Amino acid sequence: MPELPDVEGFRRVLADHATGRRIKGVSVFDRGVLRGVSASRLAQALTGASLGKPWRHGKWLVVPVAGGKPSLILHFGMTGGLFWVTVGNRHRHDRFVLHFDNGDLSYRDMRKLQGLWLAAPDRVLAGTGPDALELPRDDLRGVLGGQKRQIKAALVDQSVLAGLGNLLADEILWRARIHPRQVCAELDNSDFARLHARMGTVLKQSIKDGRVPARKSWLTGRRDEESGSCPRCGTVLKHGRVNGRGTVWCPRCQGENA
């Protein structure tokens, strides 16, 4: 599932290949990914236009369109991605493609749980929490501290904090030595300081890879092993569900129960 680092990678793809270039044409192969816009209106708005500098907020990618037109806004759901293609046939999961002189920008998505909007960012992103990468340390407790819910559930709630998904939340909590079922309101200042520091480290390292890396020194690299062990202490990892999501933690480093 694309999380903040993946979307940052998609932003770089668009910035490197399509920013400032004129769109020659638009192909919509599946209208199921269009949100609040028809295929004809999308093509009319984008054909002949050029794209501005893209920016990311959480798992959202916003692409300004020159000429004061509404922005192209993308969300990649669980299986979406953005790819630059110069040669080759269309992929079977291409849902729409922007055509340029030197190549094509393709939105691919197997499950089509999200898609694209042509709208003002403030309207589409309303209700989304602050970006996890940009949130200052002093603000993290303000966002999470008063909540009487489990920390894992709060971290993956996009209205609370934007950008974190299952893999990132588990990785960050493991590094911060906080149990995923720990109640937010019970965390102290040192917990929040540690949580913010580890969140920054995990996000910055993941962005370099364009994804959450499955390294053996990371929880992510051990979580899918049948008898996966903690990379830090060697204890067999625990698996359970928090707020309906599959969750992995170390019972020694993070405690048996919160």
**Catalytic positions, written as ranges:** 2-3, 59, 245
Q: Strand pairing partners for 248?
A: 239
Q: Please report the DSSP string for 130-153 in residue order.
A: -BTTT--HHHHHHHHTT--SBHHH
Torsion 217-219-220-225 (CA) sign? positive
Closest CA to 75 of 105, 107, 97: 107
Alpha helix positions (H), 49-125: 121-124
Q: CA-to-CA distance for 203 and 134, rounded, in angstroms?
A: 10
Tokens coding 65: 């369109």
Write out the two tokens for 117.
């909007």
Q: Is 18 exposed, middle or buried (0-12, 13-18, 19+ CB in 10 A)?
A: buried
How far apart are the C-alpha atoms of 253 and 234, rounded to whole Å?
A: 10
Beta bridge partners of 98: 26, 105
Tokens 């668009």, located at residue:
14
Q: Torsion angle of alpha carbons 140, 170, 221, 250, nearest 10°?
A: 120
- Rounded CA separation 20/105 (Å): 13
What would the two tokens of residue 89 be?
Answer: 């046939």
